[in-house]
């Protein structure tokens, strides 16, 4: 509060030196000499009190963050049904849970891989969270191939097979070429030929396109991005922070 008072005093002093009250200040009607004098006074004040600039920047950032959060909440509300119950995204955790956690992910994303054990820990500890996985490959051809393989597996072999493939792709270190994907399918006792043939099908393409369109409507451009309790959470979050957010969401629901 002291710095704010000093800022106000400094501004008033600069105006007084120009012989005009704050409410009468009109830069457009100043002479060149008056504008120069005013600029000198403002500069001198800011040089003596640089913390005022930081206060202004912090205030601007807070206002921008609040505006972005409000916008994100509106976007989530407008697209909630497709986020939580689109009819095609895989649902893990507890399908009957009272809280839904949506994750937009990319198998080649380092932060998605880092978040994977954190999400698993959260689901294991809580036991009452629905986890909706959105395949959102944005990091190149390897990402697209991985997601196509995962979605093809889900469409042909079901949710349990998808879960196993999802976890395996998250841990895959090499490139997801045909040989590697065939080996992965064989290791999980899946029909590799059928899955590989289905990867480029219109059904797989449609699902990925629908998820991409949803992400664009939500202004999601990075992974991981989570949606929890009407909020967009952009970026990696450790399990303990997600626990706090889940608890706050349950509390707000009453």
Domain boundaries, the chain: 2-78, 80-253
What distance in Å separates the CA atoms of residue 254 and residue 249, rounded to the nearest whole number? 9
Q: What is the pLDDT of residue 15?
A: 42
What distance in Å separates the CA atoms of residue 81 and residue 99, rounded to the nearest whole number? 14
Q: What average pLDDT score do residues 94-110 get?
A: 97
Q: How many residues does the chain have?
A: 254
| Tokens, residue 122 | 């959260």
129-135/99-105 β-pairing:
parallel
Helix (H) or strand (E) holding 144: helix 141-157
pLDDT band at 57 (very low <50, low <70, confident <90, very high): confident
What distance in Å separates the CA atoms of residue 10 and residue 233, rounded to the nearest whole number? 40
pLDDT band at 41 (very low <50, low <70, confident <90, very high): confident
User: Hey, which CATH number is domain 80-253, 3.40.50.300, 3.40.50.1450, 1.20.120.1200, 3.40.30.10?
Assistant: 3.40.30.10
pLDDT band at 113 (very low <50, low <70, confident <90, very high): very high
Please, is 185 exposed, middle or buried when counting C-beta atoms within 10 Å of its C-beta (0-12, 13-18, 19+)? buried
Q: What is the pLDDT of residue 6?
A: 44
In this prediction the pTM is 0.75
């Amino acid at each position: 509060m002291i710095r704010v008072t000093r800022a106000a005093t400094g501004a008033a002093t600069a105006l007084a030196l120009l012989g005009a009250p704050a409410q009468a200040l009109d830069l457009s009607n100043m002479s060149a000499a008056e504008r120069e004098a005013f600029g000198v006074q403002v500069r001198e004040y800011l040089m003596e009190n640089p913390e005022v600039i930081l206060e202004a920047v912090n205030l601007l950032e807070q206002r921008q963050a609040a505006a972005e959060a409000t916008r994100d909440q509106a976007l989530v509300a407008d697209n909630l049904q497709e986020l939580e119950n689109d009819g095609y995204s895989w649902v893990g955790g507890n399908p009957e849970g009272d809280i839904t956690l949506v994750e937009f992910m990319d198998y080649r994303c380092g932060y998605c891989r880092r978040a994977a054990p954190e999400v698993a820990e959260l689901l294991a500890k809580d036991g009452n969270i629905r986890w909706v996985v959105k395949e959102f490959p944005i990091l190149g051809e390897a990402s697209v191939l991985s997601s196509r393989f995962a979605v093809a597996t889900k469409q042909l072999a079901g949710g349990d097979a998808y879960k196993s493939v999802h976890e395996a792709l998250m841990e895959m270190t090499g490139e997801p070429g045909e040989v590697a994907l065939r080996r992965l399918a064989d290791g999980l006792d899946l029909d590799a030929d059928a899955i590989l043939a289905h990867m480029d099908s219109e059904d797989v393409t449609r699902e990925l396109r629908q998820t991409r369109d949803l992400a664009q409507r939500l202004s999601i451009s990075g992974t991981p991005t989570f949606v929890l309790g009407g909020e967009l959470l952009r970026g990696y979050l450790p399990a303990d922070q997600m626990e706090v957010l889940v608890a706050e969401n349950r509390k707000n629901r009453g």
